[in-house]
Amino acid sequence: MATEMIAVEIDGRRVDIPSGLTVLQYLEQSHPTSLQGDNPVALASINGRRTPLAEPLSGDERVRLIRLRDPQAQSTIQRTVQYVAAVAAEQLFPEHPLYFHFSYDSGMYCELERPEPLTDEEISRLDGRMRDLVAQDLRLTPQRFGLRALLKIFRRRGDERAWRAAKYLRRDTMMMYSMEGAQLMYYGRQLPSTGYVKAFRLVPEAPGFVLLTNEKGHPDTVPAFHRQPKLLETLREDARWVEMIGVPDTGRLNEHIVEGRTDELIQVAEARHNQFFVEAAQRVADLPEAGRLVLVAGPSSSGKTSSAKRLMVQLRVLGLKPFALSLDNYFVDREDTPRGEDGDFDFEALGALKIDLFNRHLEELMAGREVHLPEFDFRSGTGRESAIVTRLEPGQPLIVEGIHALNPALTPAIPQADKLQIYVSALCHLNIDSHSYIKTTHSRLFRRIVRDAKYRGYTASQTLARWPKVRHGEETHIFPFQNNADLFFNSGLTYELAVLKLWAEPRLAAVEPDDPYYWLARTLIEQLSLLLPIDASQVPPTSILREFIGGSSFSY
């Protein structure tokens, strides 16, 4: 029987190939040099969806080949480095699985699941074993399993986290990867072989280490590592807390949903938030009466605005009368706004604000003098002086919220002793199993997709297109100063993705296959598919989550 031939388009060129041939097989047969050198083809985009090269073709597909230096290959490179680390750890420490806790700086914080910390010698051995696996150029093969068979495999291996994650999947099959010569199977898209990994580094960070991969677009370069002890302790505290309340991963969260225990979970998570504001309000009250300046900063969709409002409520409980000062009213006229490298206005640059005027007003307000605050008209792009006179009473807290709030250049005239600096971010990642987790950046992206659709009329496609620029602004103007904070507030809620999926999933599903961000939309949908939904009616009106889904008792 003759082999059926099909037509596909590969990098804009039509080719006829046998039905069922994989992209990798096609390249090995017809273009073997494309899999060699320092920038080989690493994965493919088939009809807008990123796939491994082992994906079979069935006809009428549009295939774009993605090379190792393409920024879109970065997440796959990271996942393969994780796989190599997990296999190396299983071979060296078979009784103690390697656990990937969370993203930290430009890497991933990892520990062995055992009471004793990893020694420097053990980390060095792990590094050496990983390099051995890379040098062997072992093939990574995808295999689709029936769900029942997969659950049996996880149970037999004693991998309870992976078993719980798969147990609640609403599909009959799941793709897993196996490494040549290893038994450990891995969730998530991989490179064709371990030899594609060009650079990584293990940095000791007791009791574990930080696994650094390459810079985006530069597979053979590992970025510098910057320790951030305050952020690390906040992340560790969250990891301890979710373990303590019994919801460390998607499987445990789904168990709570199935068993009807979400009311208690929501109450506990919200009470933890409230505890922070009680303690933060007392810190404000303890500042000198002559200067109670509170600076609140954080990245996009972290919940800065709700955090500032909840802090103000708690300050009123202590008998104080906080006043909120908006940085938005200190924008320079639009024609004077600095421009970014792309030539567009850079509204997130510090130079987009009237810093001298802002500091003069801060000094006058904190000295109890009368001030005419500015007002900015976003329609005309110009500012004007308000006719209303503002004066603070002695000891009255002044709350300033904005992306530059922790930048020392914003408030150089105010003594450090008169400031309380708070960093807000949704740091509550959610583990899938021992080796996979939903990134905190994706948690914030889910929030932004929902908020943009509800309040700004943006499609998910428009939000996804804006996200790279938002992330660039955060890395430039926010993250470098986060360690200046006196307090770190984790605005993430353990249960929130199960609520947000009700809004985010249909909007992401509307992203068309020819959209340049279709691949990201499918990735986000895949993550949400791991969770069962929670009815939003259980979310209290004071919750930070209400800033995004609506129904808040605060006005914005």
pLDDT at 278: 97
d(C-alpha 337, C-alpha 541), whole Å: 37
The candidate with the shortest Cα–Cα distance to 73, out of 200, 216, 221, is: 216
Query: Does 501 fall in a domain?
Result: yes
Asked whether the predicted pLDDT for residue 453 surpasses 80, the reply is yes
pLDDT at 455: 92
Whether residue 471 is found in the same domain as residue 543: yes
d(C-alpha 150, C-alpha 90), whole Å: 19
Query: Does 556 fall in a domain?
Result: no
pLDDT at 345: 84
d(C-alpha 490, C-alpha 292), whole Å: 23
pLDDT at 346: 84
Letter for the amino acid at 441?
A: T
Last residue of a domain, one of 67, 88, 110: 67
**pLDDT digit string (tens) for 12-23?**
999 999 988 999
Domain limits for position 426: 230-322+396-549
Angle between helices 304-317 and 262-285 (to 10 degrees): 70
Query: Does 34 fall in a domain?
Result: yes
Residue with the larger pLDDT of the pair 496 and 5:
496
Domain holding 53: CATH number? 3.10.20.30
Angle between helices 74-92 and 120-135 (to 10 degrees): 120
Letter for the amino acid at 104?
A: Y
Asked whether the predicted pLDDT for residue 1 surpasses 60, the reply is no
**pLDDT digit string (tens) for 249-292?**
999 999 999 999 999 999 999 999 999 999 999 999 999 887 79
Whether residue 253 is found in the same domain as residue 375: no
Count other Cβ atoms within 10 Å, centred on residue 109. 21
CA atoms within 13 A on the CB side of 249: 20
Whether residue 168 is found in the same domain as residue 240: no
Last residue of a domain, one of 67, 90, 117: 67
Count other Cβ atoms within 10 Å, centred on residue 453. 20
Asked whether the predicted pLDDT for residue 53 surpasses 80, the reply is yes
Residues of the chain with pLDDT > 70, as a percent, come to 100
CB-based contact 368:393 (threshold 8 Å): yes
The candidate with the shortest Cα–Cα distance to 277, out of 395, 399, 396, is: 399
Q: Domain count of the chain?
A: 4
What band does 183 get if pLDDT is binned at 50, 70 and 90? confident
60: left (phi over 0), alpha (psi -120 to 50) or beta: left
Asked if residue 207 has a cis previous peptide bond (ω within 30° of 0), the answer is: yes
Query: Does 241 fall in a domain?
Result: yes
Domain holding 147: CATH number? 3.30.980.10
**pLDDT digit string (tens) for 383-439?**
999 989 999 998 899 999 988 999 999 888 888 888 999 999 998 778 999 999 998
Q: What is the mean pLDDT of residues 145-165?
A: 91
Query: Does 249 fall in a domain?
Result: yes
Last residue of a domain, one of 209, 227, 245: 227
Whether residue 193 is found in the same domain as residue 299: no
Query: Does 555 fall in a domain?
Result: no
Whether residue 391 is found in the same domain as residue 437: no
pLDDT at 490: 95
Whether residue 131 is found in the same domain as residue 168: yes
Whether residue 193 is found in the same domain as residue 244: no
Whether residue 113 is found in the same domain as residue 31: no
pLDDT at 34: 95
d(C-alpha 111, C-alpha 431), whole Å: 14
Bridge partners (DSSP) of residue 331 are 353
Whether residue 129 is found in the same domain as residue 161: yes
Query: Does 204 fall in a domain?
Result: yes
What band does 170 get if pLDDT is binned at 50, 70 and 90? confident
Whether residue 80 is found in the same domain as residue 207: yes
What band does 2 get if pLDDT is binned at 50, 70 and 90? low
CB-based contact 270:239 (threshold 8 Å): no
Which of 234-238, 290-294, 310-314, 373-377 holds the top average pLDDT? 310-314
pLDDT at 185: 87
Whether residue 346 is found in the same domain as residue 256: no
d(C-alpha 218, C-alpha 197), whole Å: 11
Q: What is the mean pLDDT of residues 505-512?
A: 96
Query: Does 554 fall in a domain?
Result: no
Whether residue 400 is found in the same domain as residue 493: yes
pLDDT at 502: 94
Exposure of 32 by Cβ count < 10 A (0-12 exposed, 13-18 middle, 19+ buried)?
exposed
Average pLDDT score over the chain: 93
